[in-house]
Structure 1
Amino acid sequence: MSTLDSPNRSKWRQFLRQVPFLAGLNEAAFEQVASACVRRELPAKTSLFYEGDEGYCLYVLGKGTIQIRKETASTPLVVAELHAGDVIGELALLDGQPRSATAITTTPCTLYELSRDRFLRCIQDHPELALAMVAVLTQRLREANEQLAHRQMPVETRLVAQLVARLALQPEPQIPPVLLGKLTNAELGRQLSTTRETISRKMDTLLQQGIVKRDTQGLWVLHPQQLQRFLKENA
């Protein structure tokens, strides 16, 4: 853990200046916020905080990927995946309530931590920071509405959409069969906010139809065009 007054100060501040949450601040406001931040390094598969924990700070994700999960009776549901430049934990920071979800690193991460006390002092000195936070919360609301609409789609449609999205990330040209890697039903269930058993049933249908197959290398898509056609007809 280190402050932004260490030898890498210029590099870190340059990154923070590009974060949407901070980009619109005047120089004095930005300097106060940046000076209040503490840099943290976390390995993969590490909890940043758990649902129900006290919310005493927010984080700006500098590098890596973090999953936001909601605990359920069966399996944790992934409600968001955050990347460099995203803000984490702002709700608990503002209202002082416990964390509403769990944050877990999925890759090694660099984060910039801003404590609640320091954040509130910054707002007192620079009220425009409150407007910047409103913009973050507005974006969160939009994303929540989009996720709600997505979850109202049938599971098979969401599954096919996920596979098509992963196909789009593959190197060109996409000559079938296309290997998507060791993508498990449990992982897909977390990403699509459903259970492994539900994904297994839907995946079995795709396997029986010969659209996908599984072997020791992972999940293969044999007929990408059929997935794309299904999505156009049902999305």
Structure 2
Amino acid sequence: MKQSYRKCLAGGCVLLGLTGALDAQASVVVAGTRLIYNAKDAEVTIKLSNQGQSPALVQAWIDSGNIKAAPSDIDAPFTVTPPMSRIDPGKGQTLRVVYMGEPLPKQKESLFWLNVLEAPPKAAAEDANKLQLVLRTRIKVFYRPTDLKAAVEDAPAKIEWRLTQKDGHPALEARNPTPYHVSFTAISASAGGKTSTAVADMVNPQESRVFPLKGDVPAAADLKVHYTTLNDFGGAVDGSSMLQRDDAPARTHPHD
């Protein structure tokens, strides 16, 4: 039971309501870690499956990034159908996501979040003292305009890296000149047998982000950045890049 609880937290479940002794068992699984909505699509779908032993009540909605926003307060330009459903054990449910046409940037992706809220079945009398949890899973929804000039698979290699400082400590600055979000799951810098790591995260399109370095930070000369990113299917892709110089573009090696 403790193992399933840890897995739920690592997978992005949010614990929303608690009563009694712990009984956390996520049953509804979302088929994917991200949803790509191409502007030319009339709708996109994503599948849910109930891998538990009891029926599950599910509520689904999309928000603009505020994790505390209630479904009644959402302002994202998407509808999710069905917004509420019951999924029996071993069965599935397909969610239909439709863009409602509200103007969004045409030169870069926009980010939203799909929420899947799972309410547990009512506890039996003998389980009345167990903790009942409402579990929420959130995955990223990328709205992708048509006719973006760059290829999405080339975006990680186009990130420009510089050595900088944050709060007086060495850090890597990642500048994303592309129209795509680049999701990093691992970042490190190495040179001369020394390696320093950073806590990875996403860099928004046409923005920069600073990643503080930990460990033995190598000198800037010949420093190489190694990274892992996620592609449209949630697959891990490794790459590397030399530090950006002011007079030349970074040298990248997508498959090192």
Shorter-chain TM-score: what band?
A: under 0.3
More strand by share: 2
Q: What is the TM-score of this pair, normalised by structure 1?
A: 0.27
More helix by share: 1
Q: What is the TM-score of this pair, normalised by structure 2?
A: 0.26
